[in-house]
Amino acid sequence: MQDGHEAMNRRNFLKQTSGIAAAAMAAPMILPDSAKGANDKVNVAVLGVNGRGKSHISGYMDLDNAVVTTLVDPDANVLAARAKSFEEKYNQKVKTEQDMRKVFDDESIDAISIATPNHWHSLATIWACQAGKDVYVEKPGSHNIFEGRKMVEAAQKYDRIVQHGVQLRSSKALQEAVQHLRNGIIGDIYMGRVLVFRWRGDDGIAPFEPVPEHLDYDLWLGPGPKMPFSRNIVHYKWHWHWEFGNGDLGNQGVHETDMALWGLGTGLPDKVMANGGKFLWNDHKTTPEVLTGSMLYTKENKILELEVRPWCTNLEDGAGVGNIFYGSEGYMVIKGYDTYETYLGKNREPGPSGKEGGNHYENFIQAVVAHDKSILNAPVETAHLSSAIAHLANTAFRLGRVLDFDPLTERYVDDQEANEMLTRNYRHPYVVSDRV
């Protein structure tokens, strides 16, 4: 490992050769004193290693210029199992920690990769930024609109690199697709549709039970409310409870809401409506199985439609998870994370198409090394906006009425009840403060 002086010299060289030295000097904080770890690699700590965090680990370990040095999870059993498999696969030791706050204090860590439950995403990002770490955060970037905006403010205030975990942004094919849309391949775009057709079965109902000894349940709950332990939420099933997740629109759907905003070239709408409910299963879920929503952009004269289906359904031009964009000259279908097709004119003549992925983790590490936010394919502002689309629709569904929204102030118009749902009552000390 480099000593502090040698590491600092190397960081200064990288900043100068990246052409960003002036901006870096103006920032309150650049990189930790340990900017590069062993073998001159970016040291990464992965937060949350039960599910999506496993992909984070392999994503960084497949790169030449990054290494996972620390695994973090409040579940000691999950942590031990993941450390064991890590050491067997990579033939090297990895540190483990249950409390993420100790990792933020670790000066050897350069970047934090967040794969925790949704209710932790924004606060963990904010804390990491305040500690001088760069951040990769899974979708959705936020659990509510207020904390999403605070996450953006923290990244800006502390001059941190923050990438949103929507890997379709790094797809070469979808970058090409968006350029086709900008060039008018389907004419004037007037509508986008988000498709989230996933197989979600009956989860049953689990009883309350004592907290397992291997789980730090207080840490797991974090910003969420204090409630008895149940396997209805730990692990994964938290997605279907408003206190911790955001339903499938705020899960898989954020990939698609992000693609929708990217393709439409819009931000947040000014009118929101949604309906749906639970129609199949009498299980523990509090979020809807089926949800349909519409969002109007009155100034841009565009509409965004959202569709979540949980069970047997048809595909739409082959897309079950993806997007469709409609224009005056044709339409474009986005399938998954790396494929697009276009159909032109009244007779749906096939137009340009493509299928090619990209490396989202590599894009993040490149931006970290250069300390250049412009390199990011999915910067923090897009994380806030794409997540907010899900929050808007969920709020309209829960209140059961059409909502008027001001995208400039990010508040509902003359609607106190809806505005109260912009944030939550945070549990001390896991608080997203107004001033970050």
Q: What pLDDT is recorded for position 333? A: 98
Mean pLDDT, all residues of the chain: 92
Higher pLDDT, 66 or 10: 66
Confidence of residue 39 (pLDDT cuts 50, 70, 90): low
Calpha distance 125→151 (Å, rounded) = 7
Which of 17-26, 113-122, 311-320 bottoms out in mean pLDDT, i.e. has the lowest?
Answer: 17-26
DSSP state of 287: S
Asked whether the predicted pLDDT for residue 15 surpasses 70, the reply is no
Higher pLDDT, 22 or 294: 294
17: buried, middle or exposed (CB in 10 Å: 19+, 13-18, 0-12)? exposed
Neighbours of 141 (CB within 10 A): 32
Instruction: Say if residues 403 and 418 touch (Cβ distance below 8 Å).
Output: yes
pLDDT tens-digit map of 390-405: 999 999 999 999 999 9
pTM, entire model: 0.91
Confidence of residue 97 (pLDDT cuts 50, 70, 90): very high
- What the block records as the tokens of 207 is 């009883």
Calpha distance 28→163 (Å, rounded) = 20
Domains (range + CATH), the chain:
4-169+361-383 (3.40.50.720), 173-357+387-412 (3.30.360.10)
Instruction: Say if residues 243 and 143 touch (Cβ distance below 8 Å).
Output: no
User: Span 42-55, mean pLDDT?
Assistant: 98
pLDDT tens-digit map of 354-364: 999 999 999 99
Q: What pLDDT is recorded for position 247? A: 98
Q: Which residues pair with 297 in a beta bridge?
A: 302
